[in-house]
Amino acid sequence: MIAALIIATVLGAMAAAQLVSFRGFVRALDGYGLGNTASPLLATVIIAAEGVAALLLSIGWWRDARGLAIAGAASAVAAAAVWSVLAVQAYVRKLPIHNCGCFGIYLPQRLSALILAQDALFLMSTSYVLIKSLAR
């Protein structure tokens, strides 16, 4: 399924960009108002979830391994949900986020309604891939 491979590519790019700019990524997460001590742990969890999702989705769909595809899709939904929750809570609290952090320090975007729409679309897309993976 092409959607799974596109999502795997996007998640892999996100994880790679966040990993190579880890300190900047942690600073971006600090802006979400969760406390400076939570940011390094959250950054590590997000990078791991995105990387695992990308790997499992790719292998699962290329090798026709249903279990791996489901695990990858579930990880992708979890990562998308985390980004959505982070964005919504920051938007509601009117926090001035100048770099959403989705790609670490690369491709910075100011938190806005457009970012919320992108997060919602990404969450719907990952959910679609999970549903398709479960139906295989």
C-alpha–C-alpha distance, residues 7 and 10, integer Å:
5
| CB-based contact 42:81 (threshold 8 Å) | no
C-alpha–C-alpha distance, residues 86 and 110, integer Å:
13
Convert the pLDDT of each residue in 19-40 to its tens digit: 999 999 999 999 998 877 788 9
C-alpha–C-alpha distance, residues 126 and 101, integer Å:
19
Q: Supply φ then ψ for residue 63, to 5 degrees.
A: -95, 0
* pTM greater than the 0.85 cutoff: yes
| CB-based contact 77:120 (threshold 8 Å) | no
Convert the pLDDT of each residue in 67-122 to its tens digit: 999 999 999 999 999 999 999 999 999 999 999 999 999 999 999 999 999 999 99
- pLDDT at position 39 is 87
